Amino acid sequence: MNLYQLTEKLISIPSVTEQEAQLAEFVSDFLQARGFHVQLQQVTAARQNLLATAGAVPKVILCTHLDTVPPFIPFSQDERFLYGRGACDAKGAMAAMLQAALRLRDEGQRDFGLLFVVGEEGDSIGAKRANELNPGS
């Protein structure tokens, strides 16, 4: 899946605040299928943060958020741009982060992590809970 295809897929998954589960599942499956270790952190009964590592204790963790503001706007495109809820905030950046992680891992880098939090567009509950994670475990 190239960067464009991944961005389209991420935008196509609804993930407005408090409804991030489907996107978290996709990102988890995507990373696990590519050899990353994924740790899910329960934030509320239906919401989870996701921490992925490439095999070593991370020296740096890249972070973004899973949620978007409402309402969901489906993916579309024209000759120049991609559109849809999250295209700029933050699914385009998420796709770039995922692709960069794959490349780093393929080049032998293992000492990094990826953190995806819920609730950034609301009360930042995911970021607050993420402070309790132990990326070395």
Active site residues: 120
* Sign of the Cα pseudo-torsion (10, 89, 23, 115, in order): positive
* Angle (CA) 115 87 3, round 5°: 70
In the chain, the amino acid numbered 50 is L
Q: Extract the tokens encoding 52.
A: 């992925």
Rounding to the nearest 10 degrees, give the CA dihedral for residues 132, 69, 74, 45: 40
Name the burial class of residue 29, with classes exposed (0-12), middle (13-18) and buried (19+) by CB atoms within 10 angstroms of its CB. exposed
